[in-house]
Structure 1
């Protein structure tokens, strides 16, 4: 009799084990969804959060449908997106939405500066911007390299002027306090000597 009872218990255990395992996975998937959502709280401004959030939403759909394996796969993809966001933020590469908006409303060096004429207050052409450089030693301050004088680059003079000194107006760059004489008095900019 004892042998029959043990046999019945072992058969029942074999049939119940997959069910118990599935319930454990379902609970694990649900717990992971809660954990990941908690991690994401307060990080709405992170540019990668929508990507991670979409994976969590997909995991929730699979959880409700009872597909625990796909639920866990979606959660692993969500965690990978979160880790990538953390690595990007740690590297100082992530922009906040405010920074992204400001960047979208900024000017491009190649289209707004390089090759543009520089004019004084009276719209007399002083020269042309040939380059924009950023100084690490001066706190990443940007300088426009203005070339003036000379003919076809012969006898020309290059000077570095802080970008903040320029005014954009009428699709031109203006130096309101400059003249040919004041530019000549500035030290020459010679990148090759540095």
Structure 2
């Protein structure tokens, strides 16, 4: 019985990456901002560092991609998506890229984290 309880709790604790991709992202007011295109994971740490939100364009054409620090997202079951404390205007002004990925190096990371007023987690690199 205890094993069944643990198994039922654990199946909701983790999610496969392909199930995160495409998940809708909302602001706190309930407006849809976009959806998660993918997320960036540290090769060594295994930790998700950024969610890349697909936003703008029409029917997937002309979309831009906005990396936001993963810790800014909160999953809300009732919405079936992630919630972030941003407005559309804030997201529109945020660091972004088109289909060509930028170098996710430390300079770019600092730019992204600075925009959101967060301390870059790798200050000495």
TM-score by length of 1: 0.41
Task: Find the residue that maps to 1:192 and give its secondary structure.
Answer: coil
TM-score by length of 2: 0.61
CA distance in 2, matches of 1:184, 1:108: 28
Does residue 183 in structure 1 map to residue 99 in structure 2? no
C-alpha displacement of 1:108: 2.3
Match of 2:18 among 96, 110, 122: 110
* Larger helix fraction of residues: 1
CA distance in 2, matches of 1:149, 1:136: 29
Does residue 192 in structure 1 map to residue 88 in structure 2? no
Does the Cα contact within 8 Å between 1:157 and 1:184 map onto a contact in 2?
Answer: no
Task: Find the residue that maps to 2:71 and give its secondary structure.
Answer: helix
Larger Rg: 1
Q: Output aligned runs, 1:1-150, within 5 Å.
A: 104=11, 105-111=13-19, 113-136=20-43, 139-142=45-48, 143-150=50-57
Gaps in structure 2 of 5+ consecutive residues = 1-8, 104-125
Gaps in structure 1 of 5+ consecutive residues = 1-101
CA distance in 2, matches of 1:160, 1:192: 11
Deviations along 1:60-115, one digit per CA (max 9) or x if unpaired, are xxxxxxxxxxxxxxxxxxxxxxxxxxxxxxxxxxxxxxxxxx9653222222x211
Question: How many residues are aligned here?
Answer: 92
Higher relative contact order (CA 8 A, sep 6+): 2
* Larger strand fraction of residues: 2
Task: Mark the CA change 1:155 to 1:134 in structure 2 (over 3 Å): closer, same or farther.
Answer: same
Q: Show structure 1 runs of 4+ deviating over 4 A.
A: none
Does the Cα contact within 8 Å between 1:120 and 1:126 map onto a contact in 2?
Answer: yes
